[in-house]
Structure 1
């Protein structure tokens, strides 16, 4: 499977997906830390991919997404944006609405 196919599969299989440096519990940069904290504060489970341990994805995703930086939040197959957009959406309440709508219904 090519790297782009892997990226497409990850985005398709995860309604809420954050490409970041490190993990939500151990972020490896301030932007990834702020983005993951904002998403975690919304109270829904989300998937993440550590681009530092996936150098092929780190190299290919910016070209695929036409978005040069990390982190990148994808919701329902659409790129939402990076740290500044995520933070702004969190502060004005839009992020929680988006995340809640995208989260799979709890049983």
Structure 2
């Protein structure tokens, strides 16, 4: 446990869920184009993931940026490891790197 309760809550989400997307909105109703783009890629690949809506929690919204040292949302994590934001995930998806990463971490997905 850290001395930052927000970091502890973020870490708990990462510990409890193999694939997590900190996003604006929900997987069923993304509320920004960048979040929607990442959800679209994950949905195409049939990856099961937990969406954390930062719009519902200002502490998480600000805390996740400090936690990852990454200034923007969405933020995508696999097995507790920060992978990237929208542009990185889109590039990885298009190049096949995202599929390779998920395979290497043992995360089920459609080809």
Instruction: State how far apart, in whole Å, the 2-side matches of 1:97 and 1:43 are.
Output: 14
Aligned to 1:103: 107
SS in 2 for 1:67: coil
Judge conservation of contact 1:7–1:57 (CA < 8 Å) in 2: yes
Q: Deviations over 1:49-68 (max 9, x none)?
A: 00001111001110111001
Taking the TM superposition and a 5 Å limit, the aligned residue runs for 1:14-33 are 14-33=17-36
Q: Which consecutive unaligned segments of at least 5 residues does structure 1 have?
A: none
* Length-normalised TM-score, structure 2: 0.87
Q: Which consecutive unaligned segments of at least 5 residues does structure 2 have?
A: none
Taking the TM superposition and a 5 Å limit, the aligned residue runs for 1:1-107 are 2-100=5-103, 101-103=105-107
Number of aligned residues:
104
SS in 1 for 2:76: strand
Aligned-pair Cα RMSD in Å: 1.5
Show structure 1 runs of 4+ deviating over 4 A: none
SS in 1 for 2:70: coil
SS in 2 for 1:27: coil
